[in-house]
Structure 1
Amino acid sequence: MNAHTLSPDAKRLREIRAALDSIAPADWTRVHDQSGAFIEMRGAMGELFVLARFDAGATNEEMAFATDAPDMVRFLLRLLDNSFQTIRKLKGTPPANQAAGEPAANKNFAAECALKCQDARFKVYLEERHGLERPLTDDRVAQRVRSILGVRSRIELNTDGSAAEAWKALRADFAAWLKAQR
């Protein structure tokens, strides 16, 4: 197969990744009010929006499945990424050679990380989960993140597959922490 031609499964996997990225951080919570159960999402500025309402006939399992969908997709994508990485190692394929369906090489995790390091909620997360000491300055946050990820520079998130995987895991843990804070 031509290296530039993706299989239908690889194309679909890229579409799923793009869809998940487009709704980031996808911080969803199931909430109840006088009208019934619904999914609430947090906007970029912390504001809350009703994403979807459930019919009275929806089961708890169905509501939980819908509410947890972004976290489940993140988990499954991380599992696939780890599997692709293991397969590449076993086959001796260099990490720079993208496996089908993996994120495009131009994904700028370094820039994403730099932005996240300025987020006040991310700073509190690092303080609570990773021992970041006060004052919670941008420089301290950047240093702590580099330490957690085992990199000298955030730019390694764009060039080192294992560093990118570590960043994605930290980002997912932060999203889970945010969800638990509600």
Structure 2
Amino acid sequence: MMQLDLARKLLPEARELAGLVSEEWSETYNMTDHCAEICVNDRINGEVLPIAIIKSDCSFDDRRLMIKAPVLLRAMVAIIEASFAEIRRLQPTEDPQQAERRARTGEPRPKDHAAECAMKCNNQLFRRFLTEKKGVADVTDGERIAVSVRQLLRVDKRSELNHDAGARNRWLDLRAEFEAWRGHNNG
């Protein structure tokens, strides 16, 4: 699995490429050269243009990934953008008086536990923890994970983690349990 720091560094390039690559690629067979090719459709004249040769010893899964690369890249960037938008939406709004007091006193902005929880729910290792330690059966769908975590924390909305001390403490306990589990499992 890729390290998060490296993924963060690559994200701007992924965003850029997602907007530049062809809409989708297809596979054809070149009868003259007797080889499979990855092709794109020219947007102007509709001509099918080869962009890569697929060697005969290329596995089915690698071939499938190459052909679907543009669509998969755009899908992953869209999911990331939606996740960031959700995190921004969940960030607690601070009233102007609190913000002014913080600025005067140098007090740090309060922790956004709801956003932290949302980010953890998108983490594959956290999902594994939920399955192995908390008995969450289905961690493939983001909404099911969110529902399961809200049930574990006994809250109706993640935003309660920022406003309800009991909910916040339950989140901090769950997070600490995850961190201990992760340390034990070398994650």
TM, length-normalised to structure 2: 0.41
Higher helix share: 2
Higher relative CO (CA 8 A, sep ≥ 6), structure 1 or 2?
A: 1
* Bigger radius of gyration among the two: 2
